Each structure stands twice: as structure tokens, then as C-alpha cells.
């Protein structure tokens, strides 16, 4: 590989890079103005450049070790062979990534450096959605071992690495984060709901189906914060969309509609295809129980099976996720999950369902690290909420005068907007 090709983007990339930086600052200014977050502007700017740093690390990693991004940046073979319209690529799966990047890679002739910097806006948009969702739903900033968790959890390196490059992982991360944020106020975020579902369906249709089911369950089990009319409308819409897309989803993953049992066969086949002989870093998930499969998907690799430098970094993150999970076990967790805001119930159901299905079909730690990135922020949201609620009640108990009965007063949120009730 030539020296300039590796270290320097093409000269023609400079305008698009400058445009991306200006666009990022414009997005930050709009978010700050809309949500009254003037004091947080500096934090969001730091978050963007931190994300941009991982974008550069990602593209350097791809040039050194290879990856899907290189294939996506090349013209699709089928498109060249058939000489067809660009819209032939507008279909679920890898073709959709080609559909998105084709104008930049083949028409504007950007290098992978410039294209990745532009693509990283998707990932940063996902982090903005997570940031706003956290501020909307936490009454106090949760702490662990005396350290405030917010905004620390927004700077976890693995989430930034896999959401900064050209590929499915970045867009599905953005789609899910946007979907969760849109659920915090459905009436005001219809466009966000539609866009997020559209992107998820064309990237990973099975994840779009899980999003639909998770949101439907959350709406069904939420008693406050949503009107009866809105609840019935959302449930009806979920059923209709489920019926419309289920056939396409099952065809995409190779499951016959009249044989649900065939999912297990496909999961076992994919697990075998991702064995050590073909990819390396194999783990025999097919021999594990369902709970241990889910545990492996969510919390491994740990230090004993990290394997390399990237695995070691991920192990530190997984240790944090594990500590947060253990931290909420001492609370009345089941009760907290029942009374969570609707958006967090959706996080819980989507993360649980995704973990179950993917843990049944993946057996390679490298692929697990990539694919679980799209749902780990949901686990973070749920655990942060439970810890925050417990610590908020502790603060109220300390402030209550002894031997005096004081009516419960809702506390101030960590932002100007109050948290949504369940």
C-alpha cells in the first residue's frame, strides 16, 4: 500500500471534510438551542471530536487489517455487471449500504478517508439521541463507587469505534438510538420514528422486526404518559406493519413462514459457519444454556478471553456493564422495570430480544463485539435509570425532616425537561 494512500485523504476530500465539520457544529447548535442546553455545548463539541478521533482510528484499522468498509466503497459487482439503475441497490442488506455510499464513492470519487469522516455523522447523531434520552429520563446523575456515570458512559471507546465507519453497524446504531429517542415523545417525533424504522429495515430487517415488537410490548405495558387513543393507534400500527414486513424479514433471514422451528436450524448452521476453522475466535455457543448464551453476548470477552488489544479494551467496557448490572440487583429491580417510562421498557424488550436471537446465531467473539454494539446503549439506559431512581429516593429520605410527614414531591430532572412517566 502506498504511503500517501494510507496517510493522506485525496485533495478532493477536503471540501467534504470541511462540510462535515461545519455540519456537525450546526447540528450541535440546533440541539443546544432546541433543548436549552447552552451550558452543555462544550461537552457536545468534545463528544463530536472524540467520536471523530475514533473515526480516524477505524479507517486506519481498515486499511491495515481489511474490513467490509473497503468492499462497500468499491462499485458493487452486480451493479457493474447488469448496468442497471442505482435504485436496483435499494433493497435490504449490504446492497443498501452500496446505495447510500455510491454517490460519494463513485460519483464524487471521495477516498475512504473522506467518506468515513462523512459517514461518522450517523454515529455522532446516535450519541446525540442517547445523550438527550438520558437527560430526559434521569432525575439525578447516578454514581458508581463515587464516580458520576453521566456523561462518562458516552465516551466508552468500543461504542464509538463501531459506530464511526462505513457499514451496517454505524447506520443501525443511529437508527436504534433515533428510534428510542423518538419514543420519548411520539407526537413530536413521527418523522424520527419513520426514518429510524426505514433505515433499520433496509440494513437488518430482523432488527426492525424486534424494534416493532419491543415498542409494541412497551406501549401495551405502559399505564401512564400515553393516552388511550395513542396507545391503541400505536398497537394497531405495529400489528399492521408486522403483517406487512414479516414475510420479507423471514425471507431475508431464510426462515420459512410455516416452520418457526427452522430458525433453530439456521441459527445452528450460522454458528457452525462462524467456527474457529473459518474465522477464528470461536466459542461453542450451541453447547451453552440460553441464559449463558445471553451472558456471553452481552458481557464477553472478559480479560481471560480478550485475545488482542481490541479485546482488552472491550473487556474493560464489559466489566463496567457487568458492574452496573450487579449494582441494580440489590434494588427492587423487577418493580423498577415495571414502572419504568415507556421508552425504557422498549429499550429493555428490544435489548433482551436482540440478545436472545443474536446469541443463538453467533459464535465468533469479533462479530459479537460488533453486533452487540447496537443494543448495549439500551442496557446502559435501563441500568442508569434504575440506579438513578434508587439514589434519588435516598436523597429524598435524607432531606426529609425526622418525625414529620412530608408529601412526596417530584424532584428536578438533571435537565430542564421532566422525565416521562410510565
Question: Residue 106 has what pLDDT?
Answer: 83
Cell of 204: 437488518
| CA 13/CA 19 separation, integer angstroms | 10
76 Cβ contact partners less than 8 Å away, ≥ 6 residues apart: 89, 95, 98, 102
Q: Where in 145-256 does DSSP place strands (E)? A: 147-148
pLDDT value of residue 418: 42
Percent of the chain with pLDDT over 70: 75
Give the contacts of 79 (CB within 8 A, at least 6 positions apart): 86, 88, 89, 98, 102
Per-residue burial over 161-200, b if 16 or more Cβ lie within 10 Å, else e, is bbbbbbbbbbbbbbbbbbbbbbbbebeebeebbebbbebb
pLDDT at residue 124 is higher than 80: yes
3-state helix, strand, coil in the chain (%, to 5): 70, 0, 25
Q: Which of 166, 65, 153 lies closest to 120 in space, CA to CA?
A: 166
Top mean pLDDT of 72-76, 195-199, 290-294 is at 195-199
- According to DSSP, the β-strands at 147-148 and 143-144 are antiparallel
Q: Report the residue count for the chain.
A: 422
Instruction: Name which residue leads in pLDDT, 242 or 37.
Output: 37
CA angle 178, 70, 120 (to 5 degrees): 30
Phi first, then psi: what are they for 2, rounded to 5°?
A: -70, 145
Per-residue pLDDT reduced to its tens digit, 296-328: 888 888 887 776 777 788 889 999 999 998 888
Is residue 149's pLDDT more than 90? Answer: yes
Q: How confident is the model at residue 269, as a pLDDT?
A: 44
Contact at 8 Å (CB) between 122 and 173? yes
Are 351 and 378 in contact, with CB atoms under 8 Å apart? yes
Residue 227: what pLDDT? 67
Q: Cell for 340?
A: 419504568
Q: Average pLDDT in the 368-382 region?
A: 90
**Residue 377 scores a pLDDT above 70:** yes
How confident is the model over 229-241, as a mean pLDDT?
73
Closest CA to 245 of 220, 208, 216, 276: 208
Quick one: CA dihedral 260, 262, 266, 268, positive or negative? positive
What pairs with residue 282 in β-bridges? Answer: 364
Give percent of the chain above pLDDT 90.
36
Q: Choose among 308, 347, 373: nearest CA to 54.
A: 373
| Per-residue model confidence (pLDDT) at position 267 | 45
d(CA 301, CA 305): 6
47: confidence class by pLDDT, cuts 50, 70, 90: very high
Cα 129 to Cα 422: distance, rounded to the nearest angstrom: 20
The predicted structure's pLDDT at residue 164? 93
DSSP string, 109-162: ---HHHHHHHHHHHHHHHHHHHHHHHHHH-SS--EETTEE-TTGGGG-HHHHHT
**Residue with the larger pLDDT of the pair 230 and 56:** 56
Q: What is the DSSP letter of 282?
A: B
Q: Is the pLDDT of residue 387 over 70?
A: yes
In the predicted structure, residue 278 carries a pLDDT above the cut 80: no
pLDDT at site 344 = 93
Amino acid at each position: 500500500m502506498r504511503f500517501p494512500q494510507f496517510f493522506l485523504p485525496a485533495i478532493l476530500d477536503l471540501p467534504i471534510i470541511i462540510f462535515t465539520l461545519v455540519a456537525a457544529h450546526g447540528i450541535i447548535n440546533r440541539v443546544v438551542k432546541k433543548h436549552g442546553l447552552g451550558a452543555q455545548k462544550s461537552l457536545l463539541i468534545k463528544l463530536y471530536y472524540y467520536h471523530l478521533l475514533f473515526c480516524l482510528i477505524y479507517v486506519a484499522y481498515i486499511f491495515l487489517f481489511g474490513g467490509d468498509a473497503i468492499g462497500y466503497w468499491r462499485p458493487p459487482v452486480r451493479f457493474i455487471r447488469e448496468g442497471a439503475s442505482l435504485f436496483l441497490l435499494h433493497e435490504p442488506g449490504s446492497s443498501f449500504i452500496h446505495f447510500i455510499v455510491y454517490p460519494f464513492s463513485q460519483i464524487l470519487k471521495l477516498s475512504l478517508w473522506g467518506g468515513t469522516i462523512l459517514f461518522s455523522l450517523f454515529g455522532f447523531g446516535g450519541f446525540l439521541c442517547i445523550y438527550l434520552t438520558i437527560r430526559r429520563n434521569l432525575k439525578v446523575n447516578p454514581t458508581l463507587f463515587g464516580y458520576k456515570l453521566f456523561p462518562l458512559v458516552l465516551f466508552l471507546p468500543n461504542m464509538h469505534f463501531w459506530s464511526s465507519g462505513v457499514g451496517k453497524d454505524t447506520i443501525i446504531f443511529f437508527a436504534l438510538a433515533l428510534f428510542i429517542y423518538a419514543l420519548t415523545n411520539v407526537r413530536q417525533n413521527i418523522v424520527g420514528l419513520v426514518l429510524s424504522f426505514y433505515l433499520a429495515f433496509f440494513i437488518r430487517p430482523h432488527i426492525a422486526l424486534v424494534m416493532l415488537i419491543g415498542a409494541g410490548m412497551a406501549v401495551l405495558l405502559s399505564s401512564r404518559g400515553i393516552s388511550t387513543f395513542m396507545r391503541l393507534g400505536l398497537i394497531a400500527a405495529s400489528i399492521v406493519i408486522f403483517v406487512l414486513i414479516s414475510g420479507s424479514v423471514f425471507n431475508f433471514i431464510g426462515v420459512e413462514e410455516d416452520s418457526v422451528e427452522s430458525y433453530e436450524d439456521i441459527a445452528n448452521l450460522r454458528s457452525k459457519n462462524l467456527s474457529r476453522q473459518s474465522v477464528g475466535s470461536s466459542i461453542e455457543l450451541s453447547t451453552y444454556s440460553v441464559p449463558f448464551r445471553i451472558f456471553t453476548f452481552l458481557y464477553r470477552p472478559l480479560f481471560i478471553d480478550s485475545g488482542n488489544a481490541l479485546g482488552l479494551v472491550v473487556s474493560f467496557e464489559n466489566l463496567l456493564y457487568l458492574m452496573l448490572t450487579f449494582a441494580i440487583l440489590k434494588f427492587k429491580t423487577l418493580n423498577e422495570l415495571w414502572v419504568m417510562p415507556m421508552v425504557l421498557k422498549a429499550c429493555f424488550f428490544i435489548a433482551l430480544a436482540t440478545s436472545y436471537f443474536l446469541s443463538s446465531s453467533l459464535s465468533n467473539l469479533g462479530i459479537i463485539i460488533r453486533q452487540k454494539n447496537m443494543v448495549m446503549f439500551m442496557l446502559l439506559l435501563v441500568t442508569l435509570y434504575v440506579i438513578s431512581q434508587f439514589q434519588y429516593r435516598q436523597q429524598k429520605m435524607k432531606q426529609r425532616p425526622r418525625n414529620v410527614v412530608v408529601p412526596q414531591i417530584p424532584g428536578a430532572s438533571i435537565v430542564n425537561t421532566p422525565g416521562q412517566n410510565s
